[in-house]
């Protein structure tokens, strides 16, 4: 079902945790609520679930205003980050909680619990108490409890946070299929950008007590609205370098290591303005010294990861940049080298506000393009 939050404000004593959050989630959509810890993600989920009341703003589920509606009447399923299993009930009773609330028949409950358990591969531990379950089984039980009642809205509060890396990897592959099969509206909270990118139809970035950007994973990755968001997505993190675009013989360029690095002509309106140049490490590559746009860097360190190799290098003005290349491909690991930036991938942000500056396609100045 659809969900619409309008101008939500929540304070605890004098702390304003959420300050004017508005968000719409469509029917059957999976929306990832992404943000650093302390941003108020969990509080927002609790407001939707109805265990806290907002100080201001409205929460509308499927056209109904939820003000004064108790949590049990909202048709919501929720999985908690710390699982919050009922320690005195076995896994079966835990998963059955939403069904007993509806007073389903015993056989109907049993059938549904077993169905869910099989789906989550915990059907063999249904008679175990939470303390007898492994962390992964606990996590699946919590998920099962959230799913069992076939809620119209499913709230998942960082469910993979407290499980080990291997399980997290497995679940990250498994969850999208699972959520799609449920055909329900999902709000998924996470601090892990990969999880966000893998699971979300759309991502809402919650930062500084408010939503700073909503968009598809591609939109957020490729066109982050601020340097802050750009920094949160991507590993290794995006390179952010102070530049001031200049007019050169072949259009717009920025000075890096004394070399003129060409910029997209759409940026010509920004000439002379103090900017931050953002470029992802994978959009920088090692080139020959005489390649167009090449500039010189000093290699400082190299970190081979499995699927890629990350190089830390410094420009002549000792500004550090990260360069990423696919693992196994050759590249220099010491001394000086030359690199070039994929012009199409360059983002420019305003240095004062951190807001991304748009290209202006209409203002085509010349045909200066890098080969």
Partner 1 sequence: MRHTSTFERVLRGTAITLVILFFMFPIFWIFLMSFQTNETILRVPPSVVFQPTFSNYAALITGKLETAAGSLEINFMRNLWNSLFLSTASVAVGLLLGIPAAYAFGRLKFRGSEDIAFTLLSFRFAPPLLVLLPLTIYFQKLGLADTYFGLIWVYQLIVLPLILWIVRGYFEDIPADIEYAYRIAGHSWFATFRKVALPLAGPGIAAAGLLAFIFAWNNFIFALVLASADKQPVTVGALAFVTASGIQYGQVAAGIVLSILPTFALALYAQRYLVEGLSLGAVKG
Partner 2 sequence: MADIARPKPRKGFRISRGLLPYLLSLPALLACIGILVPFFTAVAYSLQRYRLSQPWARRWNWGENYLNFLSDSSFWNTLKVSLTYAFLTVGVELLLGLGIALLLQKRSRFNNFVSIMLLMPLMTAPALASLMWKLMTNPGFGILSYFASLIGLEDFRWASSPQTAMLTVVLVDVWVYTPFIMILLLAGLRSLPQQPFEAAALDGVPRLFVFWRITLPMLTPFLLTATLFRVIESIQQFDIIYAMTQGGPGDRLTVFQVEAYLNFFQSTNVGRSAALLMILWAITYFLSNVFIKNWLKLREKQRGDI
Contact residues for partner 1 (CB under 8 A)?
Answer: 46, 49-51, 70-72, 74, 76-78, 80, 82, 84-88, 97-98, 100-102, 145, 149
Nearest approach in angstroms of CB 135 to partner 2 is: 23
Tell the smallest beta-carbon distance from residue 97 to partner 2 (Å). 19
DSSP states of 4-28: EEEEEEEEETTEEEEEEEEEEE-TT
Q: Which does 64 bind (CB under 5 to 8 A by kind): partner 2, partner 1, none?
A: partner 2
What single-letter DSSP state applies at residue 364?
-
**Tokens standing for 292?**
């167009």
Q: Which two tokens stand for residue 344?
A: 């199409």
Q: Answer for the pair 176, 199: CB distance below 8 angstroms, yes or no.
A: yes
For residues 18 and 8, is the Cβ–Cβ distance under 8 A? yes
Nearer to partner 1, 82 or 303 (CB): 82
Size of the site for partner 2 (CB under 8 A): 10
Q: How far is the CB of 244 from partner 1 (least distance, A)?
A: 51
- CA gap 47, 111 in Å, rounded: 32
Peptide bond into 243 cis (omega under 30): no
Query: Residue 85: which of partner 2, partner 1, none does it interact with, CB under 5 to 8 A by kind?
Result: partner 1
Residue 355's nearest CA partner among 240, 271, 276, 272 is 276
Instruction: Look at strands 185-190 and 30-34 and give their pairing.
Output: parallel
User: Of partner 2, partner 1, none, which one sits near residue 65, judging by CB under 5 to 8 A according to partner kind?
Assistant: partner 2
Q: Binder to partner 2 among 64, 124, 164, 242 (CB under 8 A)?
A: 64
92 binds, among partner 1, partner 2, none (CB under 5 to 8 A by kind): none
Q: Work out which of 66, 85, 93, 313 binds partner 2, going by CB under 8 A.
A: 66
248 binds, among partner 1, partner 2, none (CB under 5 to 8 A by kind): none
Distance between start and end Cα atoms, the chain: 49
Q: Determine which residue in the list 38, 63, 335, 361 makes contact with partner 2, applying CB under 8 A.
A: 63
Could you list the residues that contact partner 2 (CB under 8 A)?
Answer: 53, 58, 60, 63-66, 69-70, 73
């Amino acid at each position: 079902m659809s969900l619409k939050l309008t101008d939500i404000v929540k304070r605890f004593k004098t702390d304003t945790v959420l300050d004017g959050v508005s968000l719409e989630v469509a029917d059957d959509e999976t929306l990832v609520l992404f943000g650093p810890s302390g941003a108020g993600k969990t509080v927002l989920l609790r407001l939707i679930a109805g265990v806290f009341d907002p100080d201001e703003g409205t929460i509308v589920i499927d056209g109904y205003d939820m003000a004064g509606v108790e949590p049990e009447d909202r048709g919501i399923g929720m999985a908690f980050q710390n699982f919050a299993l009922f320690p005195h009930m076995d896994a079966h009773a835990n998963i059955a909680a939403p069904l007993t609330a509806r007073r389903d028949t015993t056989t109907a409950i049993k059938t549904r619990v077993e169905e869910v358990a099989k789906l989550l591969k915990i059907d063999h531990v249904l008679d175990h108490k939470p303390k007898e379950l492994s962390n992964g089984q606990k996590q699946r039980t919590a998920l099962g409890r959230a799913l069992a009642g076939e809620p119209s809205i499913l709230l998942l509060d960082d469910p993979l946070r407290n499980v080990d890396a291997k399980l997290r990897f497995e679940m990250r592959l498994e969850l999208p299929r699972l959520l799609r099969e449920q055909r329900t509206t999902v709000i998924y909270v996470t601090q892990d950008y990969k999880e966000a990118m893998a699971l979300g139809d759309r991502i809402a970035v919650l930062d500084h007590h408010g939503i700073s950007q909503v968009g598809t994973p591609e939109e957020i990755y490729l066109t982050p609205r601020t340097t802050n968001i750009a920094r949160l997505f991507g590993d290794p993190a995006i390179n952010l370098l102070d530049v001031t675009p200049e007019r050169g013989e072949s259009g717009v360029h920025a000075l890096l290591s004394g070399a003129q690095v060409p910029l997209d002509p759409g940026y010509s309106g920004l000439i002379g303005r103090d900017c931050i140049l953002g470029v992802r490490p994978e959009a920088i590559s090692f080139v020959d010294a005489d390649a167009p746009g090449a500039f010189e860097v000093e290699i400082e360190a190299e970190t081979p990861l499995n699927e890629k190799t990350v190089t830390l290098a410094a420009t002549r003005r000792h500004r550090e940049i990260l360069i990423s290349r696919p693992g196994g491909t050759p590249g220099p690991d010491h001394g000086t080298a030359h690199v070039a930036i994929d012009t199409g991938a360059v983002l420019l942000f305003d240095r004062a506000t951190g807001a991304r500056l748009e290209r202006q396609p209409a203002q085509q100045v010349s045909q200066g393009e890098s080969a």
